[in-house]
Amino acid sequence: MRVGTYDIHKIADSTPELPEQLGTKEKFWLHIDNEPHLFKIGRPGTGENWAEKVVAELCTLLGLPSASYKLAIWKGKHGVLSPSIVPPDGRLVHGNELLAGIHTDYPANKVRHNREHTMGRIHALLKHSAILPPLDWQSPDESIKTAFDVFIGYLMLDTWIANQDRHHENWGLIAHQNHIFLAPTYDHAASMGQNETDAVREERLNTSDKRRTMSYYIARAQSAIYKGKKDKKPLKTIDAFYLAAAKNPLAAKIWLECLRNVTLQDCEQIFSCFPEDYISPLGVEFALQLLRLNRKRLLELKVTDL
């Protein structure tokens, strides 16, 4: 039996101050101790709440800059509560706004299946020396110097957790006091098979059908980033990481070493802290197997000086 150790923050019924327009989930802003926080309500029948919390904890283990999340409840609705990643007087500029400012024909309002959202364009932007790594973040190695070096870590994370939602509103920059910083990684609810039913999880964990196995399942995970504008499908998550890694193999190797230092036992400990009504035993088993297999795939990659 799991004994939950994560606190569940109770939000007063009268708390909502300002609705958040981005995304498809119900969410609103509120102030706690005079600091802005975003409360997001996970969609019924999914594990979006536990997924956000798990990934934030994994980022801490990796040393990746990430939004932080607490479990919370409002009017009987469960969600996650996250302090703003934007400092006072700062501004978050999403990827679509940035790319549209550079490429006049960029379809800024097309979130899904956007072939213009390419690795080349992201790299050209984030390698610029004027764009700094995230504010107040301590790099795991002095060789991680540019915003794109950090973004390589985000793409490694996406592969590890099977996050298929790195679209152009799920990364961005923060403008603050005449400086520009890469934003911490955020919005990881679409990961670790959180929306699968326990029946599907049990089948994939135990099937002998090669097209239904966990290995087949994780290999299909797609990024929301394209290699080129003419490609019909986005890059697989592991291919997106590998393509980015070729831009700076040393940075990729450092992030892979950070991943190597995170053990399965570390991951098990994160899941053990949830109350039992947040995630089923099969949900835990499925997520841990996904993390184990993807970690193995990543650590077997041959990242060389291409």
Distance CA 189, CA 117 (A): 21
Of residues 250, 64, 249, the one with CA closest to residue 153: 64
With a pLDDT cut of 90, the percent of the chain lying above it is: 88
- Three-state SS for the chain is CCCCCCCEEEECCCCCCEECCCCCCCEEEEEECCEEEEEEECCCCCCHHHHHHHHHHHHHHHCCCECCCEEEEECCEEEEEEECCCCCCCEEEEHHHHHHHHCCCCCCCCCCCCCCCEHHHHHHHHCCCCEECCCCCCCCCCCCCCHHHHHHHHHHHHHHHCCCCCCCCCCEEEEECCEEEECCECCCCCCCCCCCCHHHHHHHHHCCCHHHCHHHHHHCCECCCECCCCCCCCCEHHHHHHHHHCCCHHHHHHHHHHHHCCCHHHHHHHHHCCCCCCCCHHHHHHHHHHHHHHHHHHHCCCCCCC
Of residues 134, 188, 184, 139, the one with CA closest to residue 160: 188
What are the structure tokens assigned to 118, written together? Answer: 């390419």
Express each pLDDT in 15-26 by its tens digit.
766 666 555 568
Of residues 125, 67, 128, the one with CA closest to residue 98: 125
Tokens 């870590």 sit on residue: 153
CATH number of 8-83: 3.30.200.120
Cβ count within 10 A of residue 23: 14
| Least confident window among 26-30, 54-58, 233-237, 249-253 | 26-30
The pTM assigned to this predicted structure is: 0.95
Residue 75 has pLDDT above 80, yes or no: yes
Per-residue pLDDT band at 202 (split at 50, 70, 90): very high
Residue 306 has pLDDT above 50, yes or no: no
The per-residue pLDDT for 275 is 87
What are the structure tokens assigned to 45, written together? Answer: 């029948």
- C-alpha angle 173/175/180, rounded to 5°? 70
Residue ranges of domains in the chain: 8-83, 90-306
Residue 106 has pLDDT above 80, yes or no: yes
Tokens 């956007």 sit on residue: 114
Q: What is the mean pLDDT of the chain?
A: 93
Right CATH for 90-306 from 1.20.1250.20, 3.10.20.30, 1.10.1070.20, 1.10.3720.10: 1.10.1070.20
HSE value, Cβ hemisphere, 13 Å, CA-based, for 127:
11
The per-residue pLDDT for 230 is 94
